[in-house]
Amino acid sequence: DTGVSQNPRHKITKRGQNVTFRCDPISEHNRLYWYRQTLGQGPEFLTYFQNEAQLEKSRLLSDRFSAERPKGSFSTLEIQRTEQGDSAMYLCASSLAKGQRETQYFGPGTRLTVL
């Protein structure tokens, strides 16, 4: 399967711990996005990369969150000092942008539960 993959699929952690999620985009996709989805809601944009450059961050992305895409391929999203409000599904998407045309393909998500 050559779709977007995310690991782990589920993560349970205690409040105050740090967690890191990984996303592997579709090969040769130059853009990578992170979204957060809470129960009963649609995904909300967090941040995106074009190649290795992080070009935009949502105001939802507090300073406890950091994302990297060091070689322009896979990306990691780290949450420091987790809070119960961080419990959500974290979705990664990738796209091959050609001018204005762009379609984002999503991975299966990482479900985070903070106890």
Partner 1 sequence: GEDVEQSLFLSVREGDSSVINCTYTDSSSTYLYWYKQEPGAGLQLLTYIFSNMDMKQDQRLTVLLNKKDKHLSLRIADTQTGDSAIYFCAERPGSARQLTFGSGTQLTVLP
- Where along the sequence are the contacts to partner 1 (CB under 8 A)? 4, 6, 31, 33, 35, 40-45, 48, 55-56, 58, 91, 93, 97, 100, 102-109, 111
Amino acid at 9: R
Q: What are 50's strand-pairing partners?
A: 31, 53
Amino acid at 44: E
Structure tokens at 17: 């711990």
Structure tokens at 25: 């985009």
Q: Minimum CB separation from partner 1 for residue 66, in Å? A: 18
Nearer to partner 1, 6 or 82 (CB): 6
Nearer to partner 1, 47 or 82 (CB): 47
Nearer to partner 1, 17 or 103 (CB): 103
Cβ-based neighbour number of residue 115 at 10 Å: 10
